Chains A and B, each alone.
Chain A
């Protein structure tokens, strides 16, 4: 017999073992690598935006000695006074050696065109300052801001820079004299959009987002919960109900831009609703978030055990009483979680709102549901398209605000789930 010569099964297994263990380790390593890679990508995304956006919370301001000359103000027309001239004369007195129109114009350009609005607001609030002389911090131009933050390099040829050597010289003089300083950027939180980066803020966009989301919440939560309750608790098994269910699942996966097309064709063109209004934006986002809320609410209703319903029926409650008194309160945390997640989606959504004209350039902060307005993500999109370097950091800063909102909303959802989740 040749038993000794033939390879035993154990030998064959052992021979391949080293290779198989290596494969095992490699496979495991690949898996771990994939997880680490995705987390690193997330980190890269956040870090790159954070680094870019952080400086936007500071804005360079310039200390000017403004002389509110009595002669410049007419008593009946305070609005129409030449506030620009106040700034200009103050700049001239800082640099008396500057002569010639072209040079003077370069000098004036160091101060933001918004400085005169600041002065006007001061005068309108308190007319007593007319005739006096004050030292006031005014916003500097965005190019000055960029130079101080190091985004404009001094070592490139003068023609490639937005600031001339002469202007940089003035800026250095001002910095040494302590008249230029980076201060906390309040404009960014209190102003609407602007073509000038130093005057642009997110307040208008945030208000637009709030109005839009209010409409979305007011419509989608009741309708979503009602639909879920009907489908889970009341609907008879039928073809029609199957159709509704398939429909809802499909709607959840329809690209968001298609909802924008629907809004444009139906709400704007057929119903003649106003363009760029939070009302229409809210309606479109409602249709978009409904499937999310319905699916989450149905899952929450499903998780309430049947014994609760049977007990309520047992003491003589009607079907609706069972639902409203017992099932709904128990399912409510799950429904709220789903709604918050749906709202977070709606807050970050951009594409459908582009379709219904919420991309317009709007300076005024909206004060109602039909005012033309924009929303935070659309504002980000608009700023990302702007060529000025200063808008890059403002875009990143706006993204940071948006992400802060989203993360806190999701954190609330997670908290609710942790706090109220019940295992039956």
Chain B
């Protein structure tokens, strides 16, 4: 029986508890007087019983499920002979992996180690016992707590306040998830990065001019000792993002101006959602478009002028990324342009300025902080964009200013370092987390500045 069916049973049990709690509340009022003698509506008594039936059992379930695999693996490993266990940590990890594969039944029949098979059988037997125990404890706690509440139901009992207190605690817990996520991101990235910087000095990483994360597999292998200088990777990232912004900012800003200042409402209701579709297209689609349509086109066009264009040029990735962030720039600019008070425009018209003069000399300067904030947000999005560059930009970290050559970006490197087989203590894998930390820091700084600027700007005209 799958442990998840316990949850279904628990749900059934708590609805049963709800019905009985409610019925008891009714029965206590006595016939004829209705529910007016009760402190709360009868449903709240039922709800309280149901909550006390479900919540403690649920907590036990979550705790049990998160620990059980750990404990069971440990118990199963203990059955192995000591000679197999006295090995270095990574081999022991391999053994644990083998065991888990056996338990899941992934290993082909011929290469099963009989001792390990025994351990796996032991694991499965223990697992069965553990599930039975879990079922017993859960039902005991559900029964005990719901019976306790059931017994204590009195007309004077402040059931509604209890229920509301519980729900409010749940709401607070939900709202802390955002904080926990941030802490989780920072800690997980930071922790692995610190391990990386123990092997590779921080200054080498931040100021090194060469990026080639391939490590020698054997000691006698020539050449690749691995060098982790982030400068070429960062340069590629900024170049591609720069190209993207060079496309997106003029086009996005001009279309926002046109749509908010010139276009008739009829045009606006059609053009705006159409442009927003661009924002809804998944990035993997843009990546495919860049790799299959734009990159060959640029290569052929370059060939006509006698230019040597790489088929993974930064230009192609940058242009397509620019298309992707056009709607981002235009909708953010649209917001801030609309927030400029009409009185400013009217004042300018009264002085005899034309529409375009009003826009260029009055509206844009007034909206500038907001527009800059929007551009910063767009930049942060371009820097963190992954799929377009993974599919259309290169892997080799060239330190170049030529957009026609292949360059790589931070996100591309993270993906190539972490996709596929990985060992968790080589600098190669850990470097991905160091890059992640770098990426997180850069985008965080951009976001904080942008959000601050936009918020300040909004307050100015409100």
Contacts and interface: CB of A to CB of B under 8 A. Distances in A.
B66 A223 contact: no
A46 to B, nearest CB: 9
A250 B174 contact: no
Interface string A346-366: 011111001100010000000
Interface in B286-338: 286-289, 291-293, 323, 326-327, 330
A191 to B, nearest CB: 21
B72 to A, nearest CB: 12
Interface stretch (A75-83, A164-172, A225-233): A225-233
Contacts of A253: 377, 380-381, 443, 447, 450-451
A414 B276 CA distance: 12
A248 interface: yes
Q: Which of A44, A246, A265, A403 has the most CB of B within 10 A?
A: A265
* Interface footprint category on A: 35 or more
B26 interface: no
Contacts of A410: 277, 280
A253 B433 CA distance: 19
B251 interface: yes
Nearest to B188: A265
* Contact residues on B (Cβ < 8 Å of other chain), bracket: 35 or more
A359 B419 contact: yes
A128 interface: no
B233 interface: no
Contact of A380 (B179, B261, B285): B285
B424 interface: yes
Interface of A: 13, 20-21, 23-24, 27-28, 30-35, 37-39, 41-42, 44-45, 48-49, 52, 222-223, 226-227, 229-231, 234-235, 243-244, 246-251, 253-259, 261-262, 264-266, 269, 271-272, 287, 290-291, 294, 318-320, 344, 347-351, 354-355, 359, 377-378, 380-381, 384-385, 392, 395-396, 399, 402-403, 406-407, 410, 414
Q: Please list the 6 inter-chain residue pairs (A to B) with the smallest Cβ-Cβ separation, ordered nearest first.
A: A255-B384, A31-B258, A348-B282, A265-B188, A34-B254, A351-B386
B439 interface: yes
Contact of B172 (A39, A230, A359, A378): A230
Interface in B424-450: 424, 432-433, 436, 439-440, 443-444, 447-448, 450
Interface-centre pick from B168, B174, B179, B377 (highest chain A CB count, 10 A): B174
B112 to A, nearest CB: 21
> Does more than half of chain B's interface fall in helix, strand or loop, or is it mixed?
helix
B251 A37 contact: yes
Given A41-B278, A359-B419, 4 more contacts: A223-B174, A250-B451, A251-B182, A350-B283
A249 B451 contact: yes
Contacts of A37: 251
B288 A399 contact: yes
A232 to B, nearest CB: 11
A251 B354 contact: no
A253 B164 CA distance: 34
Contacts of B208: none
B178 A266 contact: no
Contacts of A254: 185, 384, 440, 443-444, 447
Contacts of B440: 254-255, 258
Nearest to A265: B188
Interface in B170-211: 170-172, 174-179, 181-182, 184-185, 188-189, 191-192
Nearest to B261: A31
Nearest to A250: B447
8 contacts: A27-B359, A38-B278, A255-B439, A255-B443, A351-B415, A359-B419, A377-B282, A403-B281
A42 B278 contact: yes
A41 B330 CA distance: 15
A344 B282 CA distance: 9
Contact of B258 (A28, A244, A262): A28
A230 B171 contact: yes
A235 B172 CA distance: 9
Interface of B: 66, 69-70, 160, 164, 167-168, 170-172, 174-179, 181-182, 184-185, 188-189, 191-192, 250-255, 257-259, 261-263, 271, 273-275, 277-278, 280-289, 291-293, 323, 326-327, 330, 352, 354-357, 359-360, 377, 380-381, 383-387, 390-391, 411, 414-415, 418-419, 424, 432-433, 436, 439-440, 443-444, 447-448, 450-451
Contacts of B288: 49, 380, 384, 395-396, 399
B255 A227 contact: no
A21 B354 contact: yes
B282 A350 contact: yes
B384 A257 contact: yes
Contact of B178 (A30, A247, A264, A265): A247
B190 to A, nearest CB: 10
A354 B380 contact: no
Nearest to B186: A262
A81 B48 CA distance: 63
Given A256-B384, A344-B280, A351-B411, A226 B255 contact: no
Contacts of A406: 280-282
A384 B288 CA distance: 7
B443 A318 contact: no
A272 B175 contact: no
A74 to B, nearest CB: 22
A271 B355 CA distance: 61
A369 B415 CA distance: 24
A355 B418 contact: yes
A85 B379 CA distance: 60
A318 B182 contact: no
Contacts of B70: 272
A198 B282 CA distance: 26
Contacts of B285: 45, 49, 348, 380, 399, 402-403
Nearest to A320: B164
Contacts of A223: 174, 177
Contacts of B182: 247, 250-251
A373 to B, nearest CB: 15
A403 B286 CA distance: 12
A244 B252 CA distance: 31
